[in-house]
Structure 1
Amino acid sequence: MKIKRKIEVAVISDVHLGTFGCHAKELYSYLNSIDPKTLILNGDIIDVWQFNKRYFPKSHMQVIKKIMDMASDGVEVIYITGNHDEMLRRFSGAKIGNFSIVDKYVTELNGKSAWFFHGDIFDVSIQNAKWLAKLGGYGYDFLILINQMVNWGLSKMGKEKYSISKRIKNGVKGAIKYISDFEKVATDLAIEQGYDYVICGHIHQPKMLIKENKIGKTMYLNSGDWVENFTALEYQFKRWKIYNYNYDKLSPFFVDEDLKDMDMQDLIAAITIVDKKKKKSKKKKSE
């Protein structure tokens, strides 16, 4: 068994489980490689907007099972709701064991205050025209599907993969301005409220930078996504870093061999039924 990396805080967002664009296998491999004290799921983990009961692969279910296992093993799991999983906002404030659902999360990291939220509240298109935003979401998913076919052809020819949607986002001035405006609104508000860190998701752009204005300064962090960038945020030794699966990964591996071999029905059963053996072992330790 390979040794897991110990991390104080790990942050992932914009996984979009239940869509063609989600790279659940890569995320599962990443989750198996870490041992965090706290795992923060910063919105859009399950894509309720584009959910299709005909498409929910085993790998997507494995990610859910892995997260639930981490919570049962003592990892504090904070699920922050986003726009694609806004249905969960009706359960905001709910807590089961080490798993809790919130709309935002504030904590202190080595004497510095950190403010976590998804970020869709700053998106005018979602607030004023939700149907338009949803339509754009379907178009984005279709674009990702086309991109996967293109990359399949490129890999067969031995060429580097290409991200169409990422290229469009980076090349359109309007998109760049939107990202810049998003960062400014988030950081200005964080500075005004005295937060040292403001950690978001939503815009699928991993980033870590210091932002200043006349009042003060804060560190802006964005965890990116597991559709195009395969990134996460990690906090350890009083420092933040952006983890990039494409550059930082070791060879992908399965720590939980039994989970790897489970069929879909077994995975569903494992998620909904508490493992009695774990309960007994915890009881013995307490005694």
Structure 2
Amino acid sequence: MKNIKKKINTLIISDIHLGDSSTRCKEILSLLKKYSFKRLILNGDILDGLNFNRLHTKHWEILSKFRELSAKREVVWVLGNHDAPGHVLFKLLGIKVCHRYSWIYNGKKFLAIHGHQFDKFLSNNYILSQIAFIFYDALKKIDKKRILVDYIKLHNKTWKRGSSEVAKGALRLAKLLKADYVFCGHTHKLLEKKKKG
């Protein structure tokens, strides 16, 4: 019996960080097979930097899947703070690259933006944030079971504040661009905010 795919208009994924050893490749490929969609939005931080030596076989398999999908439907790559140097790769894959993307569906305007643009800590403390990324990467290599890594992510006040800042910034941009819905990545947290006007 053939699996019946759930039909949706747009699938949005973000922050999969290909090149990171903790990327959940099996789940990503499963998600892409589970749904039938007209549009795929890769909403930033699809790569974890541009060191191709860190890309494993499964990471390349996911990139190949994106290329395959782009031949049949619209695939858009919204750049995240870890993706920026990779825009040439995305174009080679036949994928449209942009900093933000909007579309209309059922009379509503939707907007996708990665969200790092609204992270004040990241933009105001560039050097410190780069040091923090290096430390975090090193910690992930040591902490294979991710006990300390997950604890830091869960309890870090700067990280938590960042989620709220990203949400506020996204809502301001949505209002400015007259979007009914806005989707962000960056924070690695599920957060839904509603605001009228």
TM range (shorter): 0.7 to 0.9
Tell me which moved more, 39-48 or 166-175: 166-175
Deviation string for 1:72-123 (max 9, x for gaps)?
2x1210011111011145799x6986x3111110111211111111111122
CA distance in 1, matches of 2:126, 2:34: 37
2:39 partner SS: strand
CA distance in 2, matches of 1:87, 1:202: 17
Give the paired residue count: 196
Change (3 A) 1:103 1:62: same
Change (3 A) 1:190 1:142: same
For structure 1, the 5+ residue unaligned runs are 152-162, 217-287
CA distance in 1, matches of 2:65, 2:93: 16
> What aligned pairs does 1:1-287 form with structure 2 within 5 A after superposition?
1-48=2-49, 51=51, 53=53, 55-72=54-71, 74-88=72-86, 99-147=95-143, 149-150=144-145, 164-212=148-196, 216=197
For structure 2, the 5+ residue unaligned runs are none
Paired residues of 2:49 and 2:85 also in contact (CA < 8 A): yes
CA distance in 2, matches of 1:91, 1:59: 17
Deviation string for 1:24-63 (max 9, x for gaps)?
12211221222211000011111225x251x321111111
Q: TM-score, normalised by structure 1?
A: 0.61
2:192 partner SS: strand
Q: Which has the higher contact order (CA 8 A, sep 6+)?
A: 1
1:208 partner SS: coil
Deviation string for 1:160-217 (max 9, x for gaps)?
xxx54343333344432222122112212322332111111111112223134xxx1x
Q: Counterpart amino acid of 2:85?
A: M
CA deviation after TM superposition for structure 1 residue 130, in Å: 3.1
CA distance in 1, matches of 2:43, 2:92: 16
CA distance in 1, matches of 2:52, 2:122: 21
Q: Counterpart amino acid of 1:209?
A: K
CA distance in 2, matches of 1:68, 1:11: 16
Q: Counterpart amino acid of 1:85?
A: D
CA distance in 1, matches of 2:141, 2:78: 27
Deviation string for 1:99-150 (max 9, x for gaps)?
3111110111211111111111122343344333232223223333444x33
Paired residues of 2:14 and 2:42 also in contact (CA < 8 A): yes
Q: Percent of pairs identical after alignment?
A: 32
- Greater Rg over alpha carbons, structure: 1
